[in-house]
Amino acid sequence: MAPHLLLLLRILFFLTGVSDAQSVSTVSHVSVKQGGSITIPCLYDLRYRNNVKYWCRGYYWFGCSTVVRTDHPKTSGKTSVSDDINQRVFTVTMTSLSPSDSDYYWCIVERKKEADDGVRLQISVTPGTPELYVDQQELTGVVGGSVTVLCYYSSQRSSGRWCRMGGSCVAVGHSRALDGTFVKLVQDQSRTTNGYVLMVTMSGLMMENTGWYWCEKGNLQMPVHITVNQPTTTQSTITISPSVTNRDNVETTENTDEKHQSWLEFLFIPLSLLVVLIAVTLVTFKMLRKHKDKKAKDQPPNTTVDPLPDDAVTYSTVVTKNKVQPNIPLPDDAVTYSTVVTKNKTQPNAAEPDDVVYSTVAQHQR
């Protein structure tokens, strides 16, 4: 191609804002609240991995003012730039925005022997509620889990979409797979304190789902970055969503703190075993005590008397009575013997076997 024709094409590209390659893409229009911040992703072709990228301000490419570059400077005032060559995305972050920052900007890839390649977008900074916004632009999920994005918008004049940067889109009223992940969109028909809500749920996440997406409503888009990680050994599959304000203006969070649940599960088993052990011990103690009491009740009282030796003899009193007249005194030759006992040698003060004890012998008149 002739040099003058190439130069003419470059001038046309500069004036129209359209490059000959069209290998850079981004959102077309974002709305940001005054004092807030915004991160803009710029996706580029694989062959631009090692090229310098820059952020330029101005309606026309030709004559736009460079703000930051990936070589130098990477930061200028409220604006910074970073380049992820693995994801093939360079991102520009603008903070503390004011209405004076409302303008057209360019994502541009610098090329030495050809016209630079880039794409234009518009940023609108508003003092009130933005026309389309999210609570946070960065969300995290785990493989096999799900993530929910809440996109707030101010008007129902058009339906919403959820798109992957450099990929396809899913519209409201349709639920289908997007890059292998099931996507469901629910658009609330009633207005909340934050406006209307477009709820996007991605389930069955995979590592390949890491990347930039955006909510779309009319001609506005809001970029959202989703990072998918491998679950740890103590981490279960969970649903992650931003904190939102419901219709009663009460802030809720769908993602519960997994640490409390893990601690409860960790303590439940030993506590259960301890309760069972205490119960078994009490029952065993009660049964042993009952058995002991029954045994003591069945045992006869101890009335055992130590037996006397074989040679011990006890004689009862022998009395001869008058059978005819019991009240008449006995004759003089009547004899009364008292007890005669041979005592045990083993007992103290016991009498010897040959000792005899006689009681008093009294004669009565006849």
Whether residue 26 contacts residue 74, with contact meaning beta carbons closer than 8 Å, is answered with no
Each residue's pLDDT tens digit, 230-254: 988 655 444 444 443 333 333 333 3
CA–CA gap between residue 138 and residue 7 (Å, rounded): 42
Cα dihedral sign, 242-128-154-57: negative
pTM of the model: 0.60
Each residue's pLDDT tens digit, 276-288: 788 878 878 778 8
Q: Which DSSP helix (H) or strand (E) runs through 93? A: strand 89-94
Residue of 58, 30, 249 whose CA lies nearest to 122: 30
Each residue's pLDDT tens digit, 288-333: 877 777 766 666 555 444 554 555 544 444 444 454 445 545 555 5
Whether residue 109 contacts residue 51, with contact meaning beta carbons closer than 8 Å, is answered with yes
> 171, exposed or middle or buried, with CB in 10 Å at 0-12, 13-18, 19+?
middle
Each residue's pLDDT tens digit, 158-214: 779 999 999 999 998 878 888 889 999 998 777 777 788 999 999 999 999 999 999
CA–CA gap between residue 357 and residue 350 (Å, rounded): 12
- Strand pairing partners for 39? 93
- Strand pairing partners for 41? 91
Residue of 147, 120, 158, 153 whose CA lies nearest to 22: 120
The structure tokens listed for 159 are 């339906």
CA–CA gap between residue 19 and residue 266 (Å, rounded): 60
Cα dihedral sign, 96-99-100-105: positive
Report, in angstroms and rounded to the nearest whole number, the Rg of the chain calculated over CA atoms: 53
Compute the mean pLDDT over every residue in the chain, rounded to the nearest whole number.
76
